Every structure is written in C-alpha cells, then in structure tokens.
Structure 1
Amino acid sequence: MDETGFPDESGAEAPGLMSGGGAAAAAPNDGAYRVLARKYRPKTFEDLVGQEPMVQTLENAFDTGRIAQAWMLTGVRGVGKTTTARILARGLNYEIPGAADKPTVKLTQEGTHCKAIMEGRHVDVIEMDAASHTGINDIREIIDAARYRPATARYKVYIIDEVHMLSNAAFNGLLKTLEEPPEHVKFIFATTEIRKVPITVLSRCQRFDLRRIEQSKLIGLLRRISDAEGIQITDEALMLIARAGEGSARDSLSLLDQAMAHGSGAIEADHLRQMLGLADRARVIDLFGHVMAGRIEEALGELQAQYEVGADPAIVLTDLADFTHLVTRMKVAPKSADESSVTEAERARGREYADELSVRLLSRAWQILLKGVQEVQAASKPLAAADMVLVRLAYAADLPDPGELMAQIRSGQTPMAGSVPSGGGSAPTGGGAQAMAVGMSHGSGGGGNGPTMQASARPQLSAIQGGMPAQQVSPQVAPQPDVQPAPAYNLKNLHDCAALASEKRDIPMKVAIQRQMRLVKFEPGKIEIQPTEDAPADITGEFGRKLTEWTGQRWFVVVSRNQGRPTIHEENEANQQQLLSDAKSHPTVASLLAAFPGAKVVDVTVKVSEEADAALADPMVSDPLLSEALGDDEDD
C-alpha cells in the first residue's frame, strides 16, 4: 500500500508508489484500463471514508465476541455498501497462519482468504444480486446450502445486494434461517431503499446507515487520488466535483475520471464547468444580486450569457437556490461561513447579503426557486421557463408577506403599491406592496466586492434595509373603477340556496345542496349543516365561498354535531312517495287499477294554480324542485 493509502491495480500492496520528491510513478499497466472507482476501491476498514461510527461498532463487537448473525447496510448510491460488505466478509474470515485466527477489523496484512474475497471469487463468500434473483427458488438454494459448513473459511457469508428487490415470498422464506442460522453462516444485506425491506427482516439484522461523505473528506480523497495519478487539478475544480458528487465517492470518482479524459492531464475549473454544464459561482452570485434588487433586465441578460457558454438553466437555478440557502444559514448561523466547502467569494459576499436581507425575504426566494427548478426540469423550453422564474422572483422580492399586510390593515394604513423592478414595465395592480428590497450592486472586481446600497426603483420610495421600512411614505392610491354592487338575495333556507346555484348555473353545487346537506340551523350569514357520508371533506368551505361570491355578503357554513333534517332530495322522494300512495288510494284510480290488471301508478303530476304559475316564472323560485310546495292537492 502506498503513502496515499491506496492499493495498486493488481490488489497487492504497492510499496514505493510515491517517490521521495512526491512525484507519482506510473501505475502497473496490464493492458486494460480500470476506472478510478474500481482501481482505488477500499480494501480495509481504514480505507473507508466517513464511516467511523460503523467501524468502531464492528471493532468492539469483534473484540468482545458479540458478532451478529446478519447486518443491513443502507445508504445512497456510491457510499460503499457493497465494498463495505466485502471488507466485513474479509474481517470475519481473516486468517494468517500462526499470526491471526479470529475476526478482526485490523487488516494490516493480506490474509489467506483476503484477495479472493475482495475480488468476489471466494467459494465461501457468496454474492447475489437480488435485482436478478428475486424469487423464492433463489432463496431456497441459499437455505439448502447454508446447512453445509464452509469449505475453507471460518464463516460462510452470503452478501445479498439490493435486497429490497426480493419478492414477498422470498422474504418470508428467508425469515426462519435469518433468525436462527447455523453458527457458521453470516448474512450481509445492502440496499438503497430501506423502507421497502419488511420490518420482520430488519428486526433480525444489525442496521448500519452509511452516511454521505462530507465535502471536505471527499475533496481530500479526490486530491490524494489525483496526486497518485499524476493529474494536475485546481482546488476549485476539486470542489466542483465534490459538490456534483453529492456525497457519493463513486459518483465523484466517475466525474474525476471523465474530467481527466476531458482535460488531458490538467483539469481547470472552467473546463469542468463546460463538461458538467455548471455556472460560475461568482456569476451565480451576480445573478442573485440582480434578482434580489429587482434588476430583472440584468438578471435575464446574465442567465442568457451563462446559457450561451453551456450552463444548464435548471442547474443555474439550483445553484441560485443553494446560494440562497447559504445566505440564510449565514444569517441565522454565522459560523457556517467558515466551512471548508464555502469559497472565499461565497463567504465574503454571502455575509454582506446576509446582513442586508431579511429571513422572510430569503425564505420567499427559496420557495420560489424550489418550485421553479421543478418547472424548468419539466418544461419543453428550459431557458424560457427559467426566465419566467427569475421574473417571478424579481417582482416578488419587494412584496410584503401576509403578516405585514395584516399589520398595515389593522393600523389603518392602505397597502402600498410595490416598486417596479428596474428594467421596464409597470407595477402590478390590485394588490399593492410596500418596497422592501434594497438596490444592490457590486464592483466589477473579484468576488470579494459585496453589494452596496442604491436608490430604489421609484424616487418616491425610500430604501428599506433588511426588509423593514426606514420611514413612512405617502401612499399613491390609483383611482378605483366603478364596481356594480352585487344583487341582494334574501336566502331563508337550503331551497333558496339551491335555486341560487341553479341561477348561477353551478350544477355540481346545486346537486351537493340537494343531496349532501342536512340542515340543522339557518341564519343570515351562518348555516349549520350535517354533511352526508358521501359528501366531500371541504363541502362546507366550498359552499360558504360560493355563497359569499354570489351574494356579496359574508357567509359562514359550519358542521354541526346535531342531527339535521333530511336532505332536499330525501324530502322530495318522501313527498313523491306520499303522492303515489294518495293516488293509489283515490277511488277513481283504485277502480282503474282493478279494471286493468297489471296497471300501476308510475308518476303523479301536481296541478299548479295560476298564482303559483306566475310565481314559478320568477327566476328566484324557478327550480322544479320547489313546484310541489306551490301547487294544490288535486291529483291528475
């Protein structure tokens, strides 16, 4: 093993890989190139990066002899689940004649079984991919073979990768052997979807959650591998790879492999951005300053410029959201600016933005960007979708939140119209907002130049620091158009409400009133109902909103615990049944039914008087459901 702590391609130790001057010697070449993720695959517990709690637990268990019969390794892709399983199998079967004869995590030398286990070809360490062996027959083979002792090793170890892909029958078939396996059998499971593993299986295993690798440790790992490969790479490029890897060692090494081929021995940050479609972090900060100051024209121009040099609009918005998150963290937890993953430009300018912007403003920007990234990823034209997200963000940057609007209303103030983002256009009408954003700009120099205060977009509005007004400004109230008053409705019961819904041509609400509401109490402005079992959960809120909209008056519809009257539909059905019963008992009808066997009364029509007929012409009572109440008792 070399000074960097990595084995060579052959898997054997490679002493002297690093010369005294620090120059990397050429790695042995067997004619086939091996990717970095395989070439520098960890072979001992010391090589595992970022998994110290698991290693400490295993070391204590091996020292005390408390060795479990099964382990469950879970984590995101590329954190080393399968590699850890092989190292664990090596530690269980570690053996050096005359030197080591028990399980251990101190794998200082290559033991009798180590090389075969790490290469996946040991007869007593059986690896199975559950994605391609999902059935009960595959598990039955394991159960049958587990009865026999290992051929050469101390334990027979079964490594099942992506175990969540097993079928329910396979899981059930494994339970008994998993709970009471032979003393010479150990199970190691690996999965990325721990929630899909039945709890009955989890309860029989020791679970280890392999954590994402921290960026600082991932950068150190990439630096050691780059030096071992003789690759010149800048610190900024390493940071970009570590960020793109998102805590996955395999993903990061794959990106480093790609960057080595792209850069031909020297990797620069600019070349890496072009390869990954990333935006310059300094330009992302510039874009953040434009949108938070309402400079929409400059913001759209900056996004267009980044797109022309190869930046993906979705990634630009993601980086913008990441910087928003960083500024928020700097505001609420200033020590987060000292993390090694934060560049000097982000640290300097992020602190200045954190001092100037309020948490409410940053939270609103985060919500808009989070939703905007999803929209851009799903859009057929990502650049156009990203433009609209920036427009939305710039215009929303100076809007007060609902709490501020309520405070203005309670104090008797008129909500003020928001300032127009510099770049043309008129302010949105009909809502009004007080200017909260401050004009920000930075020098044309490096990333250390932070934002400076400028005048607001409107001369009559003063600059406001941190999202709070510095001084009161006289409101500019636009003339309101003449609004025709809503017609007055005298609603006395649910019949009137159903008639109103019919007049407004809202058939679904009319049906809901007639069939899904049992009236408990009806007062002007307040209705208490008992919804039927098939009524929607939000029927009261929708009913109250519609009545308020139709009548121009505030209506509250609440659910009552008291028993309500039958629904309008139930009352009509009962009335109709009564009419049918009365008709059948009528002497004339009874004689007709007797004279014509098999005849029956199908329907009864009520004869309406002239006064009632005139009343029915009124649109307020034109619903056919109300006709029965206006007729006489004579039957046709």
Structure 2
Amino acid sequence: MNRNSKILALKYRPQTFNQLIGQKVITETIINSIKLNKVPNAYLFTGIRGIGKTTVARIVAKSLNCLNGIENICKDNLCDNCDAITNSSHIDVLEIDAASKTGVDDVRDLIEFSRYGPTSAKYKIFIIDEVHMLSKQAFNALLKTLEEPPEYLKFIFATTEIKKIPITVVSRCQRFDLSRIKSIELLEYLKKIKDKEKGNVSDDALKLIVKISEGSVRDALSLLDRALLSLESNEELNLNVAQKIFGYFDKSQLIDLFELILKGEENKVVEIYRKIYDQGVEPKVFINDFLELVYYFKNINSLNLESTNFSLNDEEFSKIKKISSNIESETLLLFWQLTLRTLEELDIVSDQNLSIEMFLIRLMYLKSLKINDYLSVDKDKIKSLENNKEDENIENEIKSETINQIKNVAQEKKVKLEIEKEIKNEDKSSINTFNQLLDVCTKKKEIKLKYELENNVNLVRFENNRIEISFNDNLDKNFVKDLSLKLFEWTGVRWIITFSKLKGDLSIKDKEKNKKVELLNKAKKTQLYKSVIEKFPDADLIEIDSSKKN
C-alpha cells in the first residue's frame, strides 16, 4: 500500500491494534490469545462496510508473523514480514477476494497450496474477503481443512453477510462482530485527521459527515476527502457548504415546516418545501429525514443530544422538545404511518416532487380531522378514544379512518348520487340488528361484505343507523366505503360507521371456533369418549357435527 496516497481512507488505514478505533474488546481478546499461544484455526470478522474487517485481518496477520513478536510489534520501523504484509506482497500471507474466486476449483487450489509450509514466516495465512460469496460446494471443500489445518496454517475470513455463511463453517471459526463506530469517537477521529491534513472544517460540518457515514470509518474519510477537495484555499468547510456538497439541508427548516403543518399553514408549508427542493434535495432524502424527525418528536423525552447521532444541534433539540409537549402521540403515529406509505408511493409516481407536496397537504388535513366531525366521529367519541390509553390499536384505527375513507370522498359522493337515482323505485330494507345486516347481505348476494362482517369485524354497538366496530388487520381497506354505500342503497338512509378503541364482541368466526372447542371439550369428558380412548389410545376427537340431534 502506498502510505503517501492522497486518498484518506488508505493513507490513514490503521497498521496496528493501537490505531484502531471502536473495537477495543475485540483487539484485547485477539492480543491475549496470541500472547497465550491460543490462536484459533480460523478468525471470522463480520460487520457493516468500512469498520475495519479487512484491516483487522491484516493486523492479525502481522501480529502472528512479526519478527519482533506480539509484545514488540512493529509500529514505525517495520520488519521484513510486517512491511511485506502491509504492501500485500508477502509470499506466506495470501489475500483472496471471494467475489472473484467463488468456485470449488479455486478452493481446491488453495488447499493444495496449503500443503506446503511457510517460506519466511511463522504462519501461512489465507485472508479471504467477502467469504460469503463462495459457493456451497466451495464451502464444503473447505470444511475438513478448516477444522484440522496444519499447525502453521491460519484462515482469516471477513464478511458483511454473516447469514449467508453455512453454520458448519461459522462453528469452526472464532467469530468477532465488529460494531459501528460511536458518533463521538468517530468525530474525534475525524478532527485528528482534519488537523493532520490542515483542513479548515467546522465541527458542525464534521458532525454532518459522521451522521451520513452511519458509523463507517471508510465512508467518513471518503466524505471528508471529497469535502476537502471541493474547497478553495483558505476557505472554511462550514455546515452550509457541507450540506450543499452532500445534498443535505438544514434541519431547522424541517422543524419549522413541521410546526407549520401542525398549525395548518398550507401556503407556508409548500413554500418552505419548495425552497428545500430548490437546494437540490432529493424527495427520498427529504422523506427519510422527515421520518427521522417524526421519531425525534415522538421520543425526544427519552433521548439526549448525543443519541441523535448529531442530526440535531442544541437549539434544534430544545425546539423539538418544546413543540412535542403539545403534540399527542396518536398524531405522531399517524404521521409516521402516512410518511412510510408515501415513501412507497415515490417508486410509482413520475414526479416525486408533486407527491411530496400532496403528502404535506394531506398531513395538515389529517391533523385537522381529529377535531371535527368529518370522519363521522362526534366529539364525545373522540374524547373517549383519547382517554382510553390501554388500547394498542389506535394506530390502525386512525390510519383506517383517514387513509381508507378520506382518499375516496369525492368519488364516494359521485357514486352516491348515481345510487340515489337508481333506488327511487326500489323497496327499502329495515336493518335494526347486526344479524339482520348479515341476512340482507345474504339476500343481496353481497358475499364479500358478509365475509368481512363475519371474519374481521368485532361489533361494539349497533343502533339508530349507527354502527360502532373494532377490527383485525385483515379487514379490507375499502370495507367502510363499501358498507356505507350498500346500507344507503338498501335502507335509503345515511349510516354512520365509526371505529372504536373498545374490543367489542368476538367476530362470528371466532364465536364459531369457541363453540366448536367447547363442544369438543364437553364431549371428551363423556364416558363414551373415555371408553374409546381406552381401546384406541391413538384416537383423537377432532370434530362434532352439532347439526345432528339425537
């Protein structure tokens, strides 16, 4: 490796365990095993990209083969072995990219080569990077040698996909899971590199780099390298410049936008978003940052500034904490669900920018729905729903009421007008109970609607052209719209359908299941059943035909 390389990720690649950051426990374990001469047959390093898997593999190879021993391993004046391993030219330390040598023949060649002892080092070492790329046959060919290699042979594997490696291979290795580098530790590391490179970079810009890198040292150094190359002499890389370079925007703008959404300031919300979009921010980047902000608003009281991974500064953190005290958790859960759905929609729309604008407008509209009668939920009902904190279905309730009803308001009105014309001369049905509703569904051959009512609906209340229900996750998204239209068609009266936080009665299907279980349990207590079991111990009662009577 060229130690004078201008690429920071290579120039500052750790050469000894002391230079590694964020992997203290792992390095201490490896060093102790070498000192005690308890070196495993194979090491397996796993973790995300850019946290030092291959780097640790090379350091282990040097630690095993250094002419000065592990106690006095080379730091500056490298011995012949350490120098050759550093430059990837040691004859006894072979680095293999498993992505390009995946076949069983490649592994057989490797095994054949392992029959010969080391030439100039203590150990012959095979470093296999991205080992999960090996084929199944290649892994099988490696098993025997991996379990009982010659004393002079050591394997070091590195992978980002530990689940793709057969368990038979993993069990023959000493596994080490390298962790993401903590934000504070990575920030301090970047400050040292910045000072060595004499780069004029602000702490806020470095924090942004730390956030984008997501705990990867290589990513962080690559971003810093890119930022430094974009600067003119004597120019400072501040947060604003860094945001432009990396395509990120000021989080304070997003917090202001969020606050305006809560206030229902539609024009101002759209205006701020358009300014953000004009800065070159991609819609998916915006929506992901919006998701992150919703998370902070929901959990700000359980977080500290460090745990936000430098996404927020002190002022932004305090502002979110202040605003969040006036927002209900149900509202934030609703925002989270709709934001996730919008993220999916971005892949199917041609103009993602317009989709984001409509998403922001929908958020304001949905927010306002919680305090009016648009969803056919009166104020007393809303109050009772908000006071009942034990129900875990608030998220599904709000999502269904809004997304499944609101999106189709205009279309529903149009359909209703057409229906009104068609039913003028038809006889109207009288529906006063839930069972009568099921009978009408059967009579009108509305099989799908009857299925939903019997299987996925729990009745809470049925009275005065008003149905109050709870439901399970299998309920069709168009159920409320379909039922409302059919009830109006059948009765000539507009019905109000609301979702309740109460669990309600069991569904018809669940009642039938419970009845069946009750009959089976009752039958198993009879003398006849006991007599049959005595003669046929393997027999079991699985069903009772309750339609037949003795």
TM-score, normalising length from structure 2?
A: 0.69
Task: Report the Cα offset of residue 199 of structure 1.
Answer: 0.8
Opposite residue 217 of structure 2, the aligned amino acid is A
* Aligned equivalent of 1:328: 298
Pairs within 5 Å for 1:90-109:
90-96=62-68, 100=69, 103=70, 107-109=74-76
Structure 2 counterpart of 1:259, from 227, 232, 242? 227
Task: Report the Cα offset of residue 379 of structure 1.
Answer: 3.6
Task: Report the Cα offset of residue 88 of structure 1.
Answer: 1.2
Pairs within 5 Å for 1:9-408:
10-11=2-3, 34-96=6-68, 100=69, 103=70, 107-109=74-76, 110-265=78-233, 266=235, 267-333=237-303, 342-376=312-346, 379-400=349-370, 408=380
Task: Report the Cα offset of residue 546 of structure 1.
Answer: 9.4
Task: Report the Cα offset of residue 176 of structure 1.
Answer: 0.9
Q: Helix, strand or coil for the counterpart of 1:190?
A: strand
C-alpha contact (below 8 Å) 1:234/1:269 kept by paired residues? yes
Distance 1:509 1:414 in 2: 30
The farther-off stretch of 146-155 and 61-70 is: 61-70
Q: Helix, strand or coil for the counterpart of 1:279?
A: coil
Pairs within 5 Å for 1:221-620:
221-265=189-233, 266=235, 267-333=237-303, 342-376=312-346, 379-400=349-370, 408-409=380-381, 487=429, 500=443, 503=445, 556-558=508-510, 560=513
Are the structure 2 counterparts of residues 371 and 128 from structure 1 closer, same or farther at C-alpha, using a change threshold of 3 Å?
Answer: same
Q: Helix, strand or coil for the counterpart of 1:188?
A: strand
C-alpha contact (below 8 Å) 1:45/1:105 kept by paired residues? no
Distance 2:434 2:349 in 1: 48
Are the structure 2 counterparts of residues 170 and 10 from structure 1 closer, same or farther at C-alpha, using a change threshold of 3 Å?
Answer: closer
Are the structure 2 counterparts of residues 137 and 407 from structure 1 closer, same or farther at C-alpha, using a change threshold of 3 Å?
Answer: farther
Are the structure 2 counterparts of residues 245 and 90 from structure 1 closer, same or farther at C-alpha, using a change threshold of 3 Å?
Answer: same
Distance 1:542 1:319 in 2: 31
> Could you say what the CA RMSD is over the residues aligned between the two structures, in angstroms?
4.4
Larger Rg over CA atoms: 1
Distance 2:364 2:281 in 1: 21
Are the structure 2 counterparts of residues 429 and 208 from structure 1 closer, same or farther at C-alpha, using a change threshold of 3 Å?
Answer: closer
Distance 1:250 1:546 in 2: 55
Are the structure 2 counterparts of residues 234 and 299 from structure 1 closer, same or farther at C-alpha, using a change threshold of 3 Å?
Answer: same
Percent of pairs with identical residues: 33
Task: Report the Cα offset of residue 364 of structure 1.
Answer: 2.7
C-alpha contact (below 8 Å) 2:66/2:73 kept by paired residues? no
Are the structure 2 counterparts of residues 542 and 396 from structure 1 closer, same or farther at C-alpha, using a change threshold of 3 Å?
Answer: closer
The farther-off stretch of 344-353 and 367-376 is: 367-376
Are the structure 2 counterparts of residues 294 and 145 from structure 1 closer, same or farther at C-alpha, using a change threshold of 3 Å?
Answer: same
Are the structure 2 counterparts of residues 368 and 412 from structure 1 closer, same or farther at C-alpha, using a change threshold of 3 Å?
Answer: closer
C-alpha contact (below 8 Å) 2:74/2:82 kept by paired residues? no
Opposite residue 261 of structure 2, the aligned amino acid is V
Task: Report the Cα offset of residue 334 of structure 1.
Answer: 5.4
* Aligned equivalent of 1:468: none
State the structure with bigger RCO (CA 8 A, min sep 6), 1 or 2: 2
Are the structure 2 counterparts of residues 182 and 285 from structure 1 closer, same or farther at C-alpha, using a change threshold of 3 Å?
Answer: same
C-alpha contact (below 8 Å) 2:208/2:310 kept by paired residues? no
Task: Report the Cα offset of residue 55 of structure 1.
Answer: 0.8
Distance 1:223 1:325 in 2: 29
Q: Helix, strand or coil for the counterpart of 1:233?
A: coil
Distance 1:236 1:547 in 2: 55
Task: Report the Cα offset of residue 168 of structure 1.
Answer: 0.7
Opposite residue 84 of structure 1, the aligned amino acid is V
Are the structure 2 counterparts of residues 509 and 279 from structure 1 closer, same or farther at C-alpha, using a change threshold of 3 Å?
Answer: closer
Opposite residue 55 of structure 1, the aligned amino acid is T
Task: Report the Cα offset of residue 95 of structure 1.
Answer: 1.5
Task: Report the Cα offset of residue 378 of structure 1.
Answer: 5.3
Opposite residue 167 of structure 1, the aligned amino acid is S
Opposite residue 60 of structure 2, the aligned amino acid is L
Are the structure 2 counterparts of residues 70 and 279 from structure 1 closer, same or farther at C-alpha, using a change threshold of 3 Å?
Answer: same
For structure 2, the residue ranges without an aligned partner over 5 or more in a row are 372-376, 388-401, 407-415, 452-461, 463-472, 496-504, 518-550
C-alpha contact (below 8 Å) 2:287/2:339 kept by paired residues? yes
Distance 1:219 1:412 in 2: 49
Opposite residue 262 of structure 2, the aligned amino acid is M
Task: Report the Cα offset of residue 400 of structure 1.
Answer: 4.5
Distance 1:378 1:542 in 2: 21
Distance 1:540 1:234 in 2: 53
Q: Helix, strand or coil for the counterpart of 2:79?
A: coil
For structure 1, the residue ranges without an aligned partner over 5 or more in a row are 1-8, 12-27, 416-427, 433-479, 513-524, 526-536, 564-636
C-alpha contact (below 8 Å) 2:305/2:314 kept by paired residues? no
C-alpha contact (below 8 Å) 1:541/1:557 kept by paired residues? no
* Count of residues in Structure 1 that have an aligned counterpart in Structure 2: 441
Q: Helix, strand or coil for the counterpart of 2:346?
A: helix
Deviations 1:53-78 (A, max 9, x none): 21121122223222111111111111
C-alpha contact (below 8 Å) 2:207/2:310 kept by paired residues? no
Are the structure 2 counterparts of residues 240 and 130 from structure 1 closer, same or farther at C-alpha, using a change threshold of 3 Å?
Answer: same
**More helix by percentage:** 2
Distance 2:35 2:327 in 1: 55
Are the structure 2 counterparts of residues 179 and 406 from structure 1 closer, same or farther at C-alpha, using a change threshold of 3 Å?
Answer: farther
Deviations 1:130-158 (A, max 9, x none): 11111100110111122211111111111
Task: Report the Cα offset of residue 105 of structure 1.
Answer: 8.8
Task: Report the Cα offset of residue 277 of structure 1.
Answer: 1.7
Are the structure 2 counterparts of residues 487 and 255 from structure 1 closer, same or farther at C-alpha, using a change threshold of 3 Å?
Answer: same
Opposite residue 340 of structure 2, the aligned amino acid is L
Q: Helix, strand or coil for the counterpart of 1:71?
A: strand
C-alpha contact (below 8 Å) 2:208/2:311 kept by paired residues? no
C-alpha contact (below 8 Å) 1:37/1:254 kept by paired residues? yes
C-alpha contact (below 8 Å) 1:330/1:337 kept by paired residues? no
Distance 1:541 1:391 in 2: 22
Distance 2:478 2:361 in 1: 33
Deviations 1:445-498 (A, max 9, x none): xxxxxxxxxxxxxxxxxxxxxxxxxxxxxxxxxxx9999896369999xxx999
Are the structure 2 counterparts of residues 239 and 547 from structure 1 closer, same or farther at C-alpha, using a change threshold of 3 Å?
Answer: closer
